[in-house]
Amino acid sequence: MISHKNVLKISDNSNTGNVEISNRFSENQTYGIIELWVRTTQHRRSYIKITEAAENVVNQVDLSLTPSGTLDYYDTTWHTIQSISLNEWYHFKIEFNCSAKWDLWINGVKKSGSGWDYWGTPNMLSTMHLISDNTNTNWNLYYDAIGYSWDPKYNASDNLNEGLLLSYNNSTALDWQGFSLDGTLNKTVLGNTTIPLPDGKHSIQLFGNNSLGTMYESTVRYFSVDTVPPILLITYPLSVQEFSAPPAYVLSITETNIASMGYTLNGGTEIPITSEMGTIDASAWNSLADGPITIRFYLRDIADREVFQEVIVIKVASDVPTTPPGIPGYNIIAILGLCSIITLILIRKQRGRIKK
């Protein structure tokens, strides 16, 4: 199961009841962090609940894997967070504060923005529940590395990043097996193993020899490791700047493995971009009324981690004077001609007075 061993497994084999595993904390918690890994074999409904009391149906953090293949949370209605793939491990980090809101990170990426509301109003949380739905049967849920921030040996996110699983098949009887990472000296292995790796580009090659001293080697595999979330900053425009025409934008990005970028205006359709600099789409800008406009920029990396930043600008009417209705527009040539006629009239009148 991709380097996860000694995991907690829930196997639901009946559609007339559900399977539930609960853990009541040693002390009630008003704030804290809970981390765990989650994997499902089918798109069925299941729950992760952190409740105020052991049997409480409200006053809780309520997460659900759904039959439609999404992860949702509940306050007074269900909200979809993201899609969930089958047989893939996901790292959840839940941070709660009963006097405020709660937050969720998935694989190191914050999903909850400025925080989500609870279902109810808990004064403290005391129990975590892992539950299968009572209409499901013949499927498995897996959990691993469950950690609580109030435990004395807990280190925040110490179970987030894992190594690379080196998994291979061999049909030759070998006396020795090993691998070379990035061209370094061979390291002996007995079979599948996990290799801690730093971010960046790497290569790996397998070797082995038999009792006759014949050396075998695999092809070289090249791959990249990216465990650091991207950084996105808005350099321009500035907050509450006024624009009549679509403004330019300048972003500052720290990420080499960009999958996609884009922005929205007032929460509308995402408009893709390919550069850190550009101009806001004219048709989208012109379709909005004058007033505050929220521009939210998105960035996703190849690990599907998404970050965003937003800025509020003010759309104003054009500062170029417009002609009032019913009055013809100004013509500079006509104005000059009119001035010439007036000058001639004045000259003629002046000359007439001299003759008298």
- Write out the DSSP string of 244-305: SSPPEEEEEEE-SSEEEEEEEETT---EEE-SSEEE--HHHHHTSPSEEEEEEEEEEETT--
Instruction: Give the range with max mean pLDDT: 8-17, 206-215, 221-230, 237-246.
Output: 237-246
Residue 340 has pLDDT above 60, yes or no: no
Q: What is the mean pLDDT of residues 33-62?
A: 88
Residue 27: pLDDT band by 50, 70, 90 thresholds? confident
* β-strand pairing of 306-315 with 242-243: parallel
* Structural domain ending residue among the three candidates 113, 148, 183: 148
| Sign of the torsion formed by the C-alpha atoms of 79, 81, 83 and 89 | negative
Report the pLDDT value the prediction gives residue 171, as an integer from 0 to 100: 81
> How many CA atoms within 13 Å lie on the side-chain side of 41?
13
Residue 312: pLDDT band by 50, 70, 90 thresholds? very high
Residue 264 has pLDDT above 60, yes or no: yes
Residues 99 and 140 in one domain: yes
Report the pLDDT value the prediction gives residue 269, as an integer from 0 to 100: 92
DSSP code of residue 68: T
Residues 95 and 131 in one domain: yes
Q: What is the mean pLDDT of residues 238-261?
A: 94
Q: What is the mean pLDDT of the chain?
A: 84
Give the residue with greater pLDDT, 301 vs 49. 49
Least confident of 75-79, 160-164, 204-208: 160-164
Residues 139 and 12 in one domain: yes
- Per the structure, the complete domain to which residue 180 belongs is given by 164-225
Q: Does residue 16 form part of some domain?
A: yes
Residues 207 and 279 in one domain: no
Residues 275 and 293 in one domain: yes
Number of folded domains in the chain? 3
User: How far is it, in rounded angstroms, from Cα 303 to Cα 161?
Assistant: 13
Least confident of 54-58, 107-111, 147-151, 167-171: 54-58
Least confident of 144-153, 188-197, 278-287, 347-356: 347-356
Phi then psi for 350, rounded to 5 degrees? -65, -45
Residue 54 has pLDDT above 70, yes or no: no
Least confident of 140-144, 145-149, 169-173, 177-181: 169-173
Report the pLDDT value the prediction gives residue 189, as an integer from 0 to 100: 84
Residue 4: pLDDT band by 50, 70, 90 thresholds? low
Residues 204 and 83 in one domain: no
DSSP code of residue 7: -
Report the pLDDT value the prediction gives residue 190, as an integer from 0 to 100: 79
Residue 349: pLDDT band by 50, 70, 90 thresholds? very low
Q: What is the mean pLDDT of residues 121-142?
A: 86
Residue 338: pLDDT band by 50, 70, 90 thresholds? very low
Q: Does residue 176 form part of some domain?
A: yes
Q: Does residue 70 form part of some domain?
A: yes
Q: Does residue 329 form part of some domain?
A: no
Q: Does residue 353 form part of some domain?
A: no
Q: Does residue 91 form part of some domain?
A: yes
Residue 332: pLDDT band by 50, 70, 90 thresholds? very low
